[in-house]
Amino acid sequence: MHQRTHTGEKPYKCIECGKAFTRNSSVKRRQSTHTRERPYECKKCEKCFYRKSHLSSHQITHTEEKPYKCNECGKAFSQKSYLKTHQNTHTGKKPHKCNKCGKSFSTKWYLTYHHQSHIGEKPYKCNECGRVFSHKVYLKIHQSVHTGRKPHECNQCGQSFYKKAHLTSHQIIHTGEKPYTSIECGRTFSHKLSLKIRLSTHKGEKPYACKKCGKSFYSKYGLTRHQITHTGEKVCECSKCGKSFYRKTNLTEHQKTHTGEKPYECTECGKAFS
């Protein structure tokens, strides 16, 4: 088998795309990318992988070991690939470009997932609500909504999340890290989305318009939150009295009426308010 590396012989051909390989194991891995089969599952978070080596690399993320450190900001990572991806936040580099629409990504993994938006194929269906997904991992994350399972827990405050990306985003609250800087005003942000919204305010751009009333917003989140006012949907319900609210912040404020918490104190007379 080793001699094939010298002769260039590749007797194993993928039946899906025709690409040839020197080893049978290599062609099997290749075919799994077409069928989207991911046989190697992490027992901690249920994330699945094409290769056993990818699973082994991923499992380090569940340990405290972080040997790869960024020279720019000192942040440490469990995998070298994570460090490389992070370094792109400092350089702005996005080397992986979609040949369909030209959109660029910081990692090949993000590009691969993006490709599904062009194919439109969604073979993974939720048995609870019928919603369909392009990837098995998306289905598993969605199913957590029905089960209430949040496998990704913050080791600082104990708050749990459905997605690891949400946990990573949350952890910046504890570190105080703000790697994204506005070139217009110099203000720094902990999340890239916050920077994009800030830049839109400088340019006066409001790209997200409501189809009902025409009102425009800086962010997609702002539009989504606004659209609830048209549907009348109140998604945030108080578990104590059943009262519903449009926004989570309003629910949080309301819940203080049940706990008796009064964190806001008048500096003049000392009277406290909820």
Condensed to tens digits (0 to 9), the pLDDT of residues 202-252 reads 888 888 888 888 888 877 778 877 877 777 665 677 777 877 776 777 777
Residues of the chain with pLDDT > 90: what percent? 0
Between strands 76-77 and 68-69, the pairing is antiparallel
Tokens of 214: 């025409």
| pLDDT for residue 43 | 80
Q: With bands split at pLDDT 50, 70 and 90, how would you rate the model's confidence at 77?
A: confident
pTM: 0.35
Q: What is the CATH number of the domain that holds 254?
A: 3.30.160.60
Asked if the structure places residue 242 within a domain, the reply is: yes
Left (φ > 0), alpha (ψ -120 to 50) or beta: where does 25 sit? alpha
Domain count, the chain: 1
Q: With bands split at pLDDT 50, 70 and 90, how would you rate the model's confidence at 39?
A: confident
DSSP 86-132: HHHHHH----EE-TTT--EESSHHHHHHHHHHHH----EE-TTT--E
Tokens of 268: 């003049």
CA–CA separation, 134 vs 128, rounded Å?
Answer: 17
| pLDDT tens digits for range 135-164 | 777 788 788 778 877 888 888 888 888 777
Domain residue limits at 227:
180-264
Asked if the structure places residue 247 within a domain, the reply is: yes
| pLDDT for residue 51 | 74
Asked if the structure places residue 15 within a domain, the reply is: no
Asked if the structure places residue 64 within a domain, the reply is: no
Mean pLDDT, the chain, integer: 77
Asked if the structure places residue 190 within a domain, the reply is: yes
Contacts of 20 (CB under 8 A, 6+ apart): 10, 11, 12, 13, 14
pLDDT over 70 at 6, yes or no: no
Contacts of 176 (CB under 8 A, 6+ apart): 190
Asked if the structure places residue 211 within a domain, the reply is: yes
Asked if the structure places residue 152 within a domain, the reply is: no
Residues of the chain with pLDDT > 70: what percent? 86
pLDDT over 80 at 68, yes or no: yes
CA–CA separation, 169 vs 180, rounded Å?
Answer: 13
